[in-house]
Structures are given as structure tokens and as C-alpha cells.
Amino acid sequence: MSYQIRKAAVIGSGTMGGGIAALLASVGIPVLLLDIPAPDTKPGDAPAKRNAIVNGNLTNLIKGKPAQFFKAADAELVTTGNTEDDLQKLADADWVVEVIIEKLPIKQDLMARIDAVRKPGSIITTNTSGLSIAAICHGRSDDFRRHFLGTHFFNPPRYLKLLEIIPHPDTDPALVDFMFKFGTERLGKGCVLCKDTPNFIANRFISIIGSIGINYALDNGYTVEEVDAITGPLIGHPKTATFRLQDLVGIDVSVYVGRNLYDAVVDDPWRDVLHHEKADQLFDWLMSNKFLGRKTKQGFYKTVTVKGERVHMPLNLQTLEYEEPQKVRFDSVGKHRKIENTGARIKAMINEEDRAGQYLWHLHAALFTYASLKLGEIANTIVDIDNANKWGFAHELGPFEIWDAVGVAETLPRLATSGYEVAGWVFEMVDSGHPTFYQRNDKGVVVGYYDPTKKGYVPLKEDKRVIIINTLRAEGKEVERLEGASLLDMGDGVGLLEFHSKMNAIDADIIEMVDKALKRLDDHFDGLVISNQGDSFSVGANLMMVVMGVHSEQWDQLDYGVRSAQTLYQMLRYAPKPVVTAPFGMTLGGGAEITMAGARIVAHSELYMGLVEFGVGLIPGWGGCKELLRRVVNPVMEATPNADVLPHLQKVFEQIALAKVSESAMQAREMGFLLPGDRIVMNRDHLLAEAKREVLHLIPNYVPLRSGKIWAAGRDALSALEVGAWMLRAGNYATDYDIVVANKLAYILTGGGLSEPQWVDEQYILDLEREAILSLMHEEKTLARIQYMLENGSPLRN
């Protein structure tokens, strides 16, 4: 049987159910969202009254931050109803997702009701975080059971990569394959096949290992801040670390999951870590006081406002009083935190003998041991265990990847001495001449992984949709390199310009590499991709370079820098061969400008793009103003020469003056950053391959773009924008200096106050940009804004 999903239904409209509905709607699938009818209502009451719960949750979902829909209009694809009056509508759904309370009898009852109304062959899944998939569908029809499995999303569904797929013995294997493909390509997820065991993979690990970390802290007198200081980015984990993660998840949720898991894993010798005397007393105290974490503004941290700023006061685990935040200092952390490679950094830390080193050794010793023992029981491969931990919790490395990095053979004696009993297959692996869990070729590229059932390495499945830059580099494909940027050969005549400066800020190295890439297009490459695989595409220009140039009064050099960037960006756009930019994540300021310099954009769906220079007292000076005029205003005036340009001009003005940033690639298209011909890719892992594919598509018979004209609205439009700016000042929405910057922006966007509207050359607008940004660099208040941003990471309103 072939499967397709054209319509979906989600039962349960809470945080998780609503998030799944939003994700499906955002990828163009109409969704029926159901919840229980409102209390004190009866059949026949007005739908608005009966559906008060689901409608209220949908309203909260639409208003919520971070945004769950890619763009506001996506919510129109969600229709609501309730499980008493509207259950028969499930007959229209190709996929029904159950996202209700984690109680087996209630889920079983709902499945019986779904079975009675669903159409044959429709896909039914549960989002349970740990209940038995086989038990949930027990007693259902044969067709239901064949088309039933677990699809465990992580919260929030839009943003977290992991999708655990859990079949039961009767699930159609073709359905499992389809859900993997659908989840990977349509939803952009990292899919992991799990066995039908309690809490599957990711939640099993976070519950057990997380409990061990908290228990060790309580037994050995560590503070909340000490633990969070060493279990976050230092070891490749998010800043939420340990106790902040508890607050984020919710103390009540953590307790509920832990106690349910304890009851479910009676044969797991490690289950006792879930019932630790000191931890139980602590969590009971938090629960009894309703200190449930972020949702109550009080948990392991208490959020208070001091002098207008939020302060997070940590809980003293001995006195149970909240205290003033303290700077945590460990000599070992100061010694090793600058080690760039995360695996090497962890290795250095666990070999230290101070409190930080001891904590991290025991945490990782438990992680290694538990991973070795659970392979085969809860997961088929070490790859599945690693991916579930990485994708579910945004960890940089999985357990077996870390173990390889710190050394398998060299840690085994220490593990034994520390009382950790590693699974026997690990010793067999090492003794048989397999020193690592992952097999690397002579170039250092991972090509296989160890499988205990085969007692040897098995090859990794090659995915042609995935291109890894470090693999290209290991294979000798790097043709040019500077400290902040590289040029690589992607094969098939396509080059790759990669940024790797700090936060991928646009600096002199990147500008120089653009020049080198353009020269290589003449004689070496047939096309070029501009992208990277960092956390952000680019946070914009390197502001420190600006500060240094201003302080040393290098005005000619600053002028040359702006001219050079403008010229090279124009050369990219009008190159004789296709240039495709592939942005993702934060794509700000100069990063947005270089993105728009390509002939085509292939963007990841999670794109946060904006021209944000206004926040530091500047305006876009590398073509950003020109490009938004070309993309937003030009099409209107070309189609209708007598159109009222002001609303469209106002849109561009507000986007730049308010430093608006898109909340998705789809919204970036609405803002004018992406054009109709630009593409959006859901799976970040596929971005480079899709960008390369776009270049290859453009190469045959490529006709270079030609420089055109920009509509300059003239003096009357300038006056209108200036009046709008002063209205913001009158309403105290802007400072006097904001108006200084805004007026310069208005001057550029209207063509320098021309006496009448007219078409002008692109270079005319670029010259206005350059003159404005250089004049603003002379202003003390702009310099103060830049320095404040560098020091505090937030804008100064002076």
C-alpha cells in the first residue's frame, strides 16, 4: 500500500498537540484540531461554547512566543472541534495524531472510538512519551493495528529536531518507511527508530542520566549554579544545562515522568536512581510549594525584577532559600574552556581532579555505562542512541561519540575502579581490534559503526541529500583558506564559500574570500554556493572592526571597506555564472545583504533574517536598502506605474527602522527578503545538497542577471516618511537620535530627496547608503550604541 498525507487531525490541543498541529499547517497540511468539549456544556450548544477549550488553546498558540506557525496565515489551515460532536470528521483524515494525557486506559478508550470512525488505511499514531505502543492499540481491529505506531515529537515540535518512530509487531513495515521519509523531508525532522520500551530512547536517557547528575550534586554538596556552569555549553549541551532544564520542562512534569518510568522498568537495575532519598525530599518540597519552574517563575531558580531587569536567583539546596546569583569559578574550566573541539574539551575536563572534573567524570561514566547496557534493549544501533540524545536535547555529541573522543580503552580501567560495570560487548570490541565505536577512513571521515551482533563495523548508510563541510575538508576539497573563510570544491563544478569566523560575522577574511571565489568562477567553477554549517549563517558585520577603525580615525579605510563590500556583492549578483546563497538561522545585517546578493536563495525554513543595523545607530550599507527597494517597491511600480508607492515604501522603512527579523523563511518571503523563485528546505541537513542542486539546475544556458533601475519616490515621499518618524518620537516610541538615523534612512529610500519620482541606477542608491553609513560612524551616539552592543549583547536607546 502506498501512503500519502493530504489531511491530518490532532486530538489534544495543549502545548504539544497544538504545536504538532501548527507544524503540520505550516507545511501546508489542513488540520482538524480536537479537544474535549468545554465543561458545563451539552450537545446542541453553540459550537463556540462547546469548543471553548480548543479555541482558547488555538488563540494562545497563535499569539505564543516563540512562534509555532511559520507565518500567521498558516493558522487558517487549522479548524477546531471537540471529541464528542466532531469525532466522525476523522474519517476525512489521512493521519490522526493522538496527543492526550499519559494514562493508558484513557488512550485505549480513545483508540476504540477512533477505530469506529476512521477510514480504512488511514494512519493513526500516538505521541506518547513512554507508554507501550502495543498496549495502546490492544484490542483494536487488524487494519487499525497495521496502520498504528508511535510518533514521539519533542516540545516545541517546530524547533526540536528529534522524531522518535516506534512501531509495534503488527505495524506495516511500509508505513514505518513512509513515516521516516515524511518526517525527514516534509517535516524536516531527524527520525530515529525506537523499540517499544518504556520512554523509548531520548527520555529514557534524560530521566536516568539527569537523575544521576542531580543525585550526585545533592550527595556531594554542589550548588545549582555550579552544576549548571559545567553541564551546559562546556560539554556541548544547551545553556539550560541541568537545573535550568528542570525549570524549563516543569518540576511537576519531571516528577511525573520519573515516577512513571520507575514503575515501568522493574527489570532495570538502574531504576533506583529515580528514587533517591534526598532528591525525592527536594522535589516533594518544590511540588508542595507549587514551585514548578518557569511557568510559576520559581523552581530551582526564582525570577525576580531588580531595577527593571530580570534576575534569576538560584535555590540553595541545603537551606532551601533563594540567594543572590554568584559567579562560579573552577580552575579547570578556566584552563580548558577555550579548547575548540568539544570532545577534546570533555576529555580534558574529566581528567581533572577538582570538583568540576569529578562531577563530569561521574556523569559521563554513568552515561557511557548506561549506553553500553541499553544497546540492543531500547535501540538497535549506537547511531540511534547518539542521534536521539543529540536531536532530542540539542546535545552536540552523543554518548558513544563522546566515549570515542575521550578514549574507549583508556577509560575502561577507570570505569571499573569507579564502580561502573560496562557491558561485556565493549571489552570484546576493544579486544578484537576495534578501538572505537565509529570507524573512520584514512582521511578521518566516519564510514561505519560497531555492531555487537556482527562483532565488527558495518557501513553507515550514505545519504546523498547530506553534504558535510568537514568531510569535504578531510577529503582535500578545500582550495583556499583564511582564518575567517574558506573556499571548497563540492564536486560537479560547484564551489562552496564557507564562513567560519566567530559567529560567522562578516569580516575582512570573508570579503577577501568573496573576491577569491569570484576569480575562481572565471576559470575553475561553473557555479558557487555561499553557506556554512555553523549555528548561524551570519550575525552581520564585525562591529569590532568598525569600532577600531573609528577610534583610530581610519576614515579612508572604512570608506574603502564599504565600497569594496558593495562592489563585491554586486559582482556576486551579476556574476557570469550562477551564485546561490543558502542561509539559515540568524542571518542579520551584512549576512542578510550577502544572502540577497545571490542569483537565487535556497533557505532553511528556520531563517531569522533582518537588516538590524538601526539598533547600533547605522543603516544597511552593503546594498540592503537597495535590495529591499528592488524586491518590494520595484515590482509594484513596474506593474502599475501610477500606483501609490507610499505603503510599500513604508513597509521597507519600518522593516529597517524597527530592525524587524523574520520568524521563518516563509515570513522572510513575505517581508521581501526571498523572492517567488527562491526555495525553502525543511531539513537543515539537506540544505547544502539542495543549494548545490539549484546551482546545477541553473548552469545550463545560464543568462547572467543584469543591473537594473531602482524606483526613487522623491521629495514628497521623503517628507511623509519623516513625518511618520516624528510621530514615533512624539509618542515616545523613539529617541531624538533614532530620528537622526531614521531621517538618513528615509533619505536613502526615497532617492536623496529628488524633486520628483524617477528610476535611478542601482549605484545611485549604493552611493547614498555609503555616504549615510560613513556619516553615522562619525557620530558619538552611534559609537556608543556599537560599544554597548558589543559589551552587553543588547541595543542602547540613547
**DSSP of 125-167:** EE--SSS-HHHHTTT--HHHHHTEEEEEE-SSTTT--EEEEE-
* Section 30-42 average pLDDT: 96
Q: What is the residue-averaged pLDDT of the chain?
A: 96
**DSSP of 197-260:** STTTTHHHHHHHHHHHHHHHHHHHT--HHHHHHHSSGGGT--TTTTHHHHHHH-HHHHHHHHHH
* SS3 (DSSP) at 681: strand
DSSP 271: G
Report residue 70 as a C-alpha cell. Answer: 511559520
Spatial CA neighbour of 465 closest among 684, 632, 248: 684
Examine the pLDDT at 217 and tell me if it is beyond 80.
yes
Examine the pLDDT at 1 and tell me if it is beyond 80.
no
- Give dist(CA 383, CA 390) in Å, integer: 10
Examine the pLDDT at 467 and tell me if it is beyond 90.
yes
Q: Which pLDDT belongs to residue 498?
A: 98
Q: Which pLDDT belongs to residue 30?
A: 99
**Is the pTM for the entire model greater than 0.85?**
yes
| Residue 306: band (very low, low, confident or very high) from pLDDT cuts 50, 70, 90 | confident
- Give dist(CA 513, CA 532) in Å, integer: 13
* Section 161-167 average pLDDT: 98
Report residue 616 as a C-alpha cell. Answer: 547600533
Q: What angle do CA 654, 659, 663 make, to 5 degrees?
A: 100
Spatial CA neighbour of 661 closest among 585, 774, 558: 585
- Give dist(CA 552, CA 546) in Å, integer: 10
Residue 610 pairs in a beta bridge with: 588
Omega within 30 of 0 (cis) for the link into 757: no
Amino acid occupying residue 693: R
| Residue 173: band (very low, low, confident or very high) from pLDDT cuts 50, 70, 90 | very high
Task: Write out pLDDT tens, residues 220-247.
Answer: 999 999 999 999 999 999 999 999 999 9
Q: Which pLDDT belongs to residue 310?
A: 87
Place of cell 577610534: 551
Domains of the chain with CATH codes: 8-193 (3.40.50.720), 199-328 (1.10.1040.50), 331-456 (no CATH), 464-612+661-703 (3.90.226.10), 616-658+707-798 (no CATH)
| Residue 145: band (very low, low, confident or very high) from pLDDT cuts 50, 70, 90 | very high
Q: Which pLDDT belongs to residue 305?
A: 87
- Residue 57: HSE in the Cβ half-sphere, 13 Å Cα cutoff: 27
pLDDT > 70: percent of the chain: 100
Cβ count within 10 A of residue 596: 28
Task: Write out pLDDT tens, residues 517-542.
Answer: 999 998 899 999 999 999 999 999 99
| C-beta of residue 653 within 8 angstroms of C-beta of residue 645 | no
| Parallel, antiparallel or unpaired: strands 162-166 and 585-588 | unpaired
Examine the pLDDT at 482 and tell me if it is beyond 80.
yes
Task: Write out pLDDT tens, residues 712-760.
Answer: 999 999 999 999 899 888 888 899 999 999 999 999 999 997 999 999 9
The alpha helices in 354-476, defined as continuous H runs, are: 355-374, 382-393, 399-406, 408-417, 424-431, 469-474
Report residue 116 as a C-alpha cell. Answer: 469506529
Question: For residue 410, which phi and psi values (nearest 5 degrees)?
Answer: -75, -20
Q: Which pLDDT belongs to residue 135?
A: 98
Omega within 30 of 0 (cis) for the link into 583: no
Q: What angle do CA 696, 700, 702 make, to 5 degrees?
A: 100
Task: Write out pLDDT tens, residues 412-450.
Answer: 999 999 999 999 999 999 999 999 999 999 999 999 999
Task: Write out pLDDT tens, residues 87-120.
Answer: 999 999 999 999 999 999 999 999 999 999 999 9
Q: Which pLDDT belongs to residue 402?
A: 99
| C-beta of residue 542 within 8 angstroms of C-beta of residue 506 | yes
Task: Write out pLDDT tens, residues 557-598.
Answer: 999 999 999 999 999 999 999 999 999 999 999 999 999 999
| C-beta of residue 605 within 8 angstroms of C-beta of residue 624 | no
- Give dist(CA 131, CA 336) in Å, integer: 42
- Give dist(CA 375, CA 745) in Å, integer: 60
